[in-house]
Structure 1
Amino acid sequence: MSSELIPPLEDLLCELAPCNWCLQINRLSDEGTLEGFFDNRERALAEWTSLSQRFSAFAESLSPELSTVEDRDWKEAYKEHFHPWSTGPLHLVPEWERATYVLPEGEKVLYVDP
């Protein structure tokens, strides 16, 4: 979305807060992307229609792209990407790896639960 649409859309989203919309702004190009997360396609389209009615300039220049996000336990999913690391003799280890992490002799460990 073009940069001139961003300030009035930001204002509208602040009025609607809390809402399921998230405005992502690329500060290098001054362009934006609006993302929304909804329980189902029908709700997404209804919310898009409602937003479009309140912000006609937006509706005239853009149309929604819908996609499905895999349903999973997001509170646990980050653990797939969070691994032990070390800085010098100090090892930072996720709590859920306490039983399996092998600490090199003479080094220290700090277990973290991020």
Structure 2
Amino acid sequence: MTSHQQHRDALWCWLSFADFSADQPRIDQALLQLVRANTPPEAMVTLTAATLAAVLQLYLAGTISDDDVADWAHVVELRHDIDSSAVEGFVYALANAEQMGGLNTASVQRMLALLTD
């Protein structure tokens, strides 16, 4: 597997909160996995509405916390190898939830409704 493919795989794993060990907090494990991967700048992945919706569903199910979602969104904003332009407003709102009225079930359900329309 090439370093580009490994990097893309690590990004997808992180973006979707997949493949975490049960003995470590999800966001920490995801970030560790992402940092360990080589980071070729041209290995970009796209954050789609479907992936964002899946993350929001994890929040609604209680699988991830408010802090997990905010940390996740902050990293998405900072990474140059993640194209989040299609869902940029949602990512901003999640990263700045306190300024946007807080993250709660109702706000996430509204986001999901907008994402799936």
**Which structure would you say has the larger Rg?**
1
Q: Between Structure 1 and Structure 2, which shows a larger proportion of helix residues? A: 2
Shared fold (TM-score greater than 0.5)? no
Task: Name the TM tier (shorter chain).
Answer: under 0.3
Structure with greater contact order relative to length (CA < 8 Å, sep ≥ 6): 2
**Normalized against structure 1, the TM-score is what?**
0.27
Q: Between Structure 1 and Structure 2, which shows a larger proportion of strand residues? A: 1
